[in-house]
Amino acid sequence: MNRRFAICVSITTSNTALTGGGKKAMLLCVLLWSTSGLFIKFIDWHPLVISGFRSGIAALCMLLVNGKRLFALRPRSAQARALPGWWLLLAAALASAATKILYVLANKLTSSANAILLHHSAPVWAAFLGWLLLGEKPIKKQWAALVLISGGLALFLANGLRGGSIVGDGTALAAGICFGASMVLLRMNREGSPLLCLFVSHCIPVLVSVPFIASHPPLFTPANTASILFLGIVQVGIASLLYAYSIKRIPALDAVFIAQVEPLLNPLWVFAFTGEIPAPLSIAGGAVIIAAVLLSQKR
């Protein structure tokens, strides 16, 4: 009896440690993601050219770090076989790639505030899809956190909300749906290779960008070159490694809740480099979002 109890305690402790490591990795990943807006501003290229080069460099970085291990697919349990392995991998990669491309386009077709608000509707979609596809049913405090996050984002962006275009707002909403779906699909592929899914997702924007590179040739000034290298290697490449590590260890909804810290960090980077101080409503909204994220993670 004592031995069985000791084994149970050991397994629980091990799972708690894995979950804690996954959350820390996801938080660091979000920290790197949040630098995108600042460094994209330093590059005077077409947005889809930036997207293609950024993803291409990230894919090369992942390939150099992982080598042949990147393409190693492990057998999945019966629970993870809702889709055949390659179809699941492709679905996750397409959802992740669509998120990247649609978010860039949304920023060109509607206001930045609208794009961020609608993009970060992702927790709602992740909650329902995670429940439907993974059986990871949100508990009461997570539903409460969803409501708080929605209110916090509304406050956070109230100073910048303007009437956007129907096409632009629809594109941003589609980016949010794809973001939530990509986290759930990557979570479904946790016993296979989330890292390979992300690698493929970086290859897709490269293909999409080819005609735009031909029509809008990029100029490699020192600022452009340094910024695109940072975006590719650090902001996306290293972040993808952290993302793949975390999504195997924490539920999809936990990952998407932690990702809500990203819109709070963007203005902090801007403040650090430009001195622009966020408006009081933005600070209040940020406080609400942080409280919601902490609520969702409380055990």
Decide which of 115 and 127 is more confident.
Answer: 127
**Residue 256 confidence (pLDDT) above 70:** yes
Whether 13 is covered by a domain: the verdict is no
Whether 199 is covered by a domain: the verdict is yes
Least confident of 57-61, 199-203, 248-252, 281-285: 281-285
What angle in degrees, to the nearest 10, is found between the helix axes of 85-109 and 47-66? Answer: 150
**Other C-beta atoms lying within 10 Å of the C-beta of residue 213:** 16
Instruction: Count H helices and E strands in the chain, helices first.
Output: 14, 0
- Find, among 266, 251, 230, the residue nearest to 18 by Cα: 251
Whether 245 is covered by a domain: the verdict is yes
pLDDT, position 75? 52
pLDDT, position 211? 95
Q: 176 lies in which domain range? A: 18-69+84-297
**Residue 72 confidence (pLDDT) above 70:** no
Whether 268 is covered by a domain: the verdict is yes
Whether 252 is covered by a domain: the verdict is yes
Q: How many domains, the chain?
A: 1
pLDDT, position 80? 45
Say what the pTM is.
0.74
Residue 10: pLDDT band with limits 50, 70, 90: very low
Whether 131 is covered by a domain: the verdict is yes
Q: What is the DSSP string of 146-186?
A: HHHHHHHHHHHHTTT-----HHHHHHHHHHHHHHHHHHHHH
Averaged pLDDT, 15-34:
78
Whether 10 is covered by a domain: the verdict is no
**Residue 56 confidence (pLDDT) above 80:** yes
